[in-house]
Amino acid sequence: MKSVLRRLSWLLTSGLWLLAGIGCRPESAVQSGNKAQILHRGLGPDIADLDPALATGTSDYTVLSALFEGLVAEDPVDLHPVPGVAESWEMSGDGLTYTFHLRANARWSDGTPVTATDFLVSWRRVLTPSLGADNASLLYIVQGAQSFHQGRVPDFAQVGFAAPDARTVRITLEHPAAYFLSLLQHWVWWPVNLAALQKSGSATLRGNPWARPGTFVGNGPFTLKEWRPGQRIVVEKSATYWDASKVRLAGICFYPIDDVNAEERAFRAGQLHLTEALPVAKIDPYRHDSPGLLRIDPYLGTYFYRINVTRPFLNATKVRQALSLAVDRSAIVDKVLRGGQQPATAFTPPGLAGYAPPSGAGTDFPRARQLLADAGYPGGLGAPVIELLFNTSENHRVVAEAIQEMWRRELHLQVNLVNMENKSVLDARRTGSFQLLRSNWIADYADPVSFLSVWRGDSGNNYTGWSNPDYDGLLFQAARTADPVARNALFQKAETLLLAEAPLIPVYYYTHVFAIQPSVQGWHPTLLDHHPYKTVWLKE
């Protein structure tokens, strides 16, 4: 708590540091930022890395999307694919081959051209096993990518990437995918400057400190000026970006603040243009007293708990099913959160490409008690104490406490709550050093496979130890099924299997609840909560 208070004190007393050199005056960061086109925003949990090959979270994307650009970019209103580094592209008649034509004026922040080779070496790096890129499986849609990543094909030339010349990138897919252009907007597809990486260390091992001020090289509308872990990340407009004339912000200051109450206080003090979240206790007061500052946007994501199925007690399917059935999701969204969220009875939110997920994760207390008894723990007798890990946040705590009480009351289980800073939670997730883990999944693109592929046995985002070849086979078959009705039927069958084996506990479907100043322009409600900074500006 002391570290949080020190961070808030620093934020409230030194929020104007960014304006030094451009006429700093004793006024709020928001007021000064509006004049200088400096956006101040809350980041949520501190980030671990600014390397797009290693980033894993929404906080990472929040910063990375200012610093990098892929082949395609996003329309700010509905996020449909628009030209990015590639000024145009075409698709073959069979839907398997995409050819992208790069801009002649695409530049890295060091002034060198962005070339087709930059993309290919970046993708090879992601697929190099020694790097351990969590999102490498998102490239498996490319012909031969999975075989190369898993060491079955050692020659990268056998992967469906090609660069016929410096300004042409050709990608050949394993199967047609209508969502492919949207998939390219995920950060793992963004290029990195290999020459800059190699000046700081190995390009294919974790721990390379290249993504720091002074050594960072990016190709986005902004470049990295300062990064003080736990305090702030500052980016400034890039002079080398191909579309710099249309970028209206002069810079962005990101503040990592784990404590949502501290973040909200900073917003009220005029130090933030927008928050990442709002404390659940503040939502109704904002509704009543400051509705013009409250935003509740749609958000394509699911809040859930991962279960480490390799741990004793939790390795029993009936125990996991009992835990899921003993969660009153309606009570959590209606009485605790109060932000328009919906109870999650599956992992995939409804309505994606016409997909209707099965409702296998409902609430049934008697059935939960019976399953726990069938597993050998009647009335919770003999059950060990279990731990629920979550990253530090008051909002995560109140949800965890509600579920802790439900399991105590209905199953007579003792659950210890453990909170850590986000970096420590990410380490625990990666190494499997947890029993139950607070998690969320935000869609990478608007298609059911963006959710269901998380649970494949070869997914770098699974982390539970669970795998099922039948589940993998259903997703494999669905990916190669053109008829949408038949495809969705395969997805339903796969998700039914997933919910029955319960390596996760879905809790609710997200909305994005946050506070935003009226001066922020171009901040449109989008399903993925993406907001291209090149179209954002501040009104005095």
The domain boundary, picked from 206, 240, 262, lies at 206
Evaluate whether residue 280 is within a structural domain.
no
CATH code at position 261: 3.40.190.10
CA–CA gap between residue 81 and residue 501 (Å, rounded): 36
Evaluate whether residue 291 is within a structural domain.
no
CATH code at position 189: 3.90.76.10
Q: 0.85 cut: is pTM over it?
A: yes
- What pLDDT is recorded for position 405? 98
Mean pLDDT of 534-538: 97
Mean pLDDT of 276-284: 95
Evaluate whether residue 350 is within a structural domain.
yes
The pLDDT-based confidence of 27 (bands split at 50, 70, 90) is low
Evaluate whether residue 253 is within a structural domain.
yes
395, 488: one domain: yes
CA angle 305, 349, 391 (to 5 degrees): 30
Note the pLDDT tens digit of each residue in 161-191.
999 999 999 999 999 999 999 999 999 999 9
262, 369: one domain: no
Evaluate whether residue 386 is within a structural domain.
yes
5-14, 53-62, 67-76, 248-257 — which is least confidently predicted? 5-14
376, 506: one domain: yes
503, 522: one domain: no
CA–CA gap between residue 225 and residue 215 (Å, rounded): 10
174, 248: one domain: no
417, 428: one domain: yes
Radius of gyration of the chain, Cα coordinates, nearest whole angstrom: 23
63, 99: one domain: no
Note the pLDDT tens digit of each residue in 96-114.
999 999 999 999 999 999 9
Query: Sign (positive/negative) of CA torsion 479, 483, 488, 490?
Result: negative
Mean pLDDT of 44-73: 93
Write out the residue range of the structural domain in which residue 371 sits. Answer: 296-512
Is residue 12's pLDDT more than 70? Answer: no
> Pick the residue with more confidence: 538 or 44?
538
Burial 127-149 (b: 16+ CB within 10 A, else e): bbeebebbbbbbbbbbbbbbbbb
CA 432, 467, 440, 325: dihedral to nearest 10 degrees? -100
Note the pLDDT tens digit of each residue in 433-443.
999 999 999 99
CA–CA gap between residue 462 and residue 44 (Å, rounded): 23
503, 530: one domain: no
164, 99: one domain: yes
323, 460: one domain: yes
Residue at token pair 């986000």 = 422
The tokens describing 314, both together, are 């939790």
Mean pLDDT of 289-295: 97
Is residue 11's pLDDT more than 50? Answer: no
Cβ(54)–Cβ(270) below 8 Å: no
CATH code at position 317: 3.10.105.10
83, 142: one domain: yes
Percent of the chain topping pLDDT 70: 95
The pLDDT-based confidence of 381 (bands split at 50, 70, 90) is very high
Is residue 238's pLDDT more than 50? Answer: yes
Evaluate whether residue 22 is within a structural domain.
yes
The number of distinct structural domains making up the chain is: 3
Residue at token pair 């996003």 = 74
Element housing 89 (H / E): strand 86-91
Distance between first and last Cα of the chain: 35
Residue at token pair 């087709």 = 116
Evaluate whether residue 424 is within a structural domain.
yes
152, 228: one domain: no
Evaluate whether residue 200 is within a structural domain.
yes
CA–CA gap between residue 121 and residue 126 (Å, rounded): 9
- How much is the mean pLDDT over the chain? 93
- What pLDDT is recorded for position 338? 93
Cβ(106)–Cβ(85) below 8 Å: yes
Mean pLDDT of 52-75: 95
